[in-house]
């Protein structure tokens, strides 16, 4: 029996990179997986890979996590299909350069919307079901840029710093309901957003451990690869 047997996981940004690797790994560990992202063709590729490697069928939901109505519809679809939600991996991200002086307000808002508001919306929509079940494991993907910043990546750095604060707040608010919320910093991964780095599959065992924490396990913490 897999570590995530009988669990239902939602993974955002599941069409490529870490989201795709995590989707396959979670399914291999026994989870029923709902894959979310903006590009339907990429999500379908992920679902096909899950089927080929694990024999499991993923639920494909084309969703922009920055759009509240789409998020609410996605959550409703997951509950209708699987009956519950146990795990959320907030992985969807926009990584674009721009200094404070260079960024337009629209460019700023675009990155904040996906990298910070998206996890807020997805988590908020799932919390009632998690509270009812008295169980939830929420993993938010962060970055070293959240605490040391980086010249030329003002919006991304600020969004990740906000996400870390949101996660700690969530951990305090939801612990009594059996919901654990933690952050994971994978370091540099080789993805569409970054040409060099580790294979995303290398870090997925860490994500599975966070997704399967026992009752009373750590919450509001940051786990980093290595």
Identify the pLDDT of residue 191. Answer: 62
Average pLDDT across the chain, whole number: 93
Q: What is the pLDDT of residues 120-179, one digit of tens each?
A: 999 999 999 999 999 999 999 998 666 666 667 899 999 999 999 999 999 999 999 999
> Is 135 part of the annotated catalytic residue set?
no
What are the residues facing 139 on neighbouring strands?
Answer: 89, 182
Catalytic annotation, pick one of 135, 153, 156, 184: 156
Mean pLDDT calculated for residue range 107-114: 96
Share of the chain above pLDDT 90, in %: 83
Q: What is the pLDDT of residues 50-60, one digit of tens each?
A: 999 999 999 99
Identify the pLDDT of residue 42. Answer: 98
Identify the pLDDT of residue 211. Answer: 98
DSSP assigned state of 117: I
Whole-angstrom CA distances from 9 to 73, 83, 99, 111, 198 are 16, 12, 36, 24, 24
Taking 70 as the threshold, does the pLDDT of residue 66 lie above it? yes
Mean pLDDT calculated for residue range 80-91: 98
Q: Which residues, at least 6 apart from 100, have a Cβ–Cβ distance to it below 8 Å? A: 154
φ/ψ of residue 154, rounded to 5:
-60, -50
Mean pLDDT calculated for residue range 22-49: 98
Q: What is the pLDDT of residues 137-149, one digit of tens each?
A: 999 999 866 666 6
Find out whether 185 and 222 touch, Cβ atoms under 8 Å: yes
């Amino acid at each position: 029996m897999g570590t995530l047997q009988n669990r239902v996981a939602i993974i955002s940004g599941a069409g490529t990179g870490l989201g795709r690797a995590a989707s396959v790994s979670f399914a291999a560990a026994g989870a029923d997986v709902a894959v979310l992202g903006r590009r339907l063709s990429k999500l379908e590729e992920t679902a096909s890979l899950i089927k080929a490697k694990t024999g499991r069928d993923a639920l494909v939901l084309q969703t922009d996590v920055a759009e509240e109505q789409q998020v609410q519809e996605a959550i409703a679809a997951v509950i209708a299909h699987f009956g519950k939600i146990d795990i959320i991996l907030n992985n969807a991200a926009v990584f674009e350069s721009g200094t404070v002086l260079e960024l337009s307000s629209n460019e700023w808002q675009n990155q904040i919307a996906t990298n910070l508001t998206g996890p807020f919306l997805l988590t908020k929509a799932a919390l009632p079901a998690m509270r009812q079940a008295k169980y939830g494991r929420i993993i938010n993907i962060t970055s070293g840029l959240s605490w040391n910043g980086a010249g030329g990546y003002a919006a991304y750095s600020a969004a990740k710093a906000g996400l870390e604060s949101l996660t700690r707040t969530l951990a305090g608010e939801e612990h009594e309901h059996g919901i654990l919320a933690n952050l994971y910093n994978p370091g540099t991964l080789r993805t569409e957003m970054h040409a060099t780095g580790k294979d995303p599959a290398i870090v997925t065992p860490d994500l599975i451990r966070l997704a399967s924490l026992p009752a009373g396990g750590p919450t509001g913490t940051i786990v980093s690869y290595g």
